[in-house]
């Protein structure tokens, strides 16, 4: 008689629709035993915990736990602070929506540079006058893009900018300085003061950490050349809100495309009437607004279970889990 197959426990803490769970299970290794629920099961023996917001109860219920998967890119500040107290655990992300986020970054870049939104708004009212008004659209061909954060999203953004005929510089935490990655020159964060004056487009793909919060303030915005475009698909507070507003009002910046913000609805009822910033950025025609939906598209829901299953299957096979988070750095 052959020995029984050893099961590999995985607990999924976040609520999941039955159809999505069935899709996930269809891709899982047969050895994986999946449990679900916001509280740990009574017989907790999982080796991987999947939770967007892990709790001490979930982290301590299973003596076999060795890894935590945050099932999206990045992790909340409170989660990082909590997980720093569990140094024996490794923490991992999913990057299934990197393409979607990069695509939105490029869409925001083009919409802001070409002032598409105010022209669309006028033409819907039958107003053709912007066609003959002084030109406000900005060309990107032959210009330079600076991508902050050269990870799964930033690399795709860089490829898109190259396809538009732009030169691309990038900043990556581990870079040593001036190294080439294909057609992109990659620099460490300390090179930012030298890079910003070259950046006709600044695209922010960074996570929010103590080191990146406020990274782009008035001093940094003043270093950008005239008529630069700023795009943020990282986190709002990476860019100082007041400095951004003043740079746009004074026309120091040509425009901005923003998917991440400074204020969010506190509950479901507030979703209909919460302005996204403390400053009236929503009143400026030079700003394109998007409600933090960079990673969402029609395909994302299909991609998520496949990406999660691939990571869990690697664990069940005893292989190293991908997308490890450096908790000290915050991503």
Q: Is residue 129 domain-resident?
A: yes
Domain that holds residue 304: 8-96+299-316
Q: Is residue 328 domain-resident?
A: no
Under the banding of pLDDT at 50, 70 and 90, the label for residue 6 is confident
Q: What is the mean pLDDT of residues 161-170?
A: 98
Q: What is the pTM of this model?
A: 0.90
Regarding whether 178 and 30 lie in a shared domain, the answer is: no
Regarding whether 91 and 47 lie in a shared domain, the answer is: yes
pLDDT one-digit tens code per residue, 229-267: 999 999 999 999 999 999 999 999 999 999 999 999 999
Cβ atoms of residues 111 and 255 within 8 Å:
no
Domain count, the chain: 2
Regarding whether 71 and 104 lie in a shared domain, the answer is: no
How far apart are alpha carbons 224 and 210 in whole angstroms? 23
Q: Is residue 223 domain-resident?
A: yes
Q: Is residue 1 domain-resident?
A: no
3-state secondary structure 232-263: ECCCHHHECHHHHHHHHHCCCEEEEEECCCCC
Regarding whether 30 and 111 lie in a shared domain, the answer is: no
Regarding whether 244 and 119 lie in a shared domain, the answer is: yes
Bridge partners of residue 147, in order along the sequence: 170, 203
């Amino acid at each position: 008689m052959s020995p029984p197959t050893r099961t590999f426990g995985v607990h999924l803490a976040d609520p999941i629709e039955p159809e999505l769970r069935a899709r996930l299970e269809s891709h899982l290794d047969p050895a994986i035993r999946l449990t679900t629920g916001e509280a740990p099961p009574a017989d907790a023996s999982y080796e991987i915990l999947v939770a967007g917001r892990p709790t001490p109860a979930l982290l301590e219920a299973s003596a076999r736990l060795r890894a935590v998967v945050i099932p999206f890119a990045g992790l909340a500040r409170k989660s990082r602070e909590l997980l720093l107290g569990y140094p024996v655990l490794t923490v991992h992300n999913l990057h299934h929506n990197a393409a979607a986020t990069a695509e939105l970054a490029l869409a925001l870049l083009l919409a802001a540079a070409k002032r598409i939104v105010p022209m669309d708004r006028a033409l819907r009212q039958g107003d053709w006058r912007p066609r003959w008004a002084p030109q406000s659209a900005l060309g990107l061909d032959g210009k330079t893009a600076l991508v902050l954060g050269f990870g799964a999203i930033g690399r795709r953004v860089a490829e898109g900018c190259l396809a538009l005929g732009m030169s691309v510089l990038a900043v990556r935490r581990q870079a040593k300085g001036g190294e080439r990655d294909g057609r992109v020159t990659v620099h460490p964060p300390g090179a930012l003061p030298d890079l910003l004056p070259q950046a006709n487009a600044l695209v922010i793909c960074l996570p929010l950490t103590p080191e990146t919060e406020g990274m782009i303030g008035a001093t940094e915005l003043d270093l950008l050349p005239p008529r630069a475009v700023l795009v943020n698909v990282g986190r709002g507070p990476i860019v100082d809100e007041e400095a951004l507003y003043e740079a746009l009002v004074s026309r120091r910046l040509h425009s901005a495309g923003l998917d991440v913000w400074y204020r969010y609805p506190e509950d479901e009822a507030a979703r209909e009437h919460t302005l996204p910033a403390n400053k009236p950025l929503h009143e400026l025609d030079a700003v394109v607004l998007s409600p933090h939906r960079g990673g969402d598209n029609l395909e994302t829901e299909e991609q998520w279970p496949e990406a999660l299953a691939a990571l869990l299957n690697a664990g069940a096979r005893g292989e190293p889990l991908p997308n490890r988070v450096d908790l000290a750095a915050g991503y």
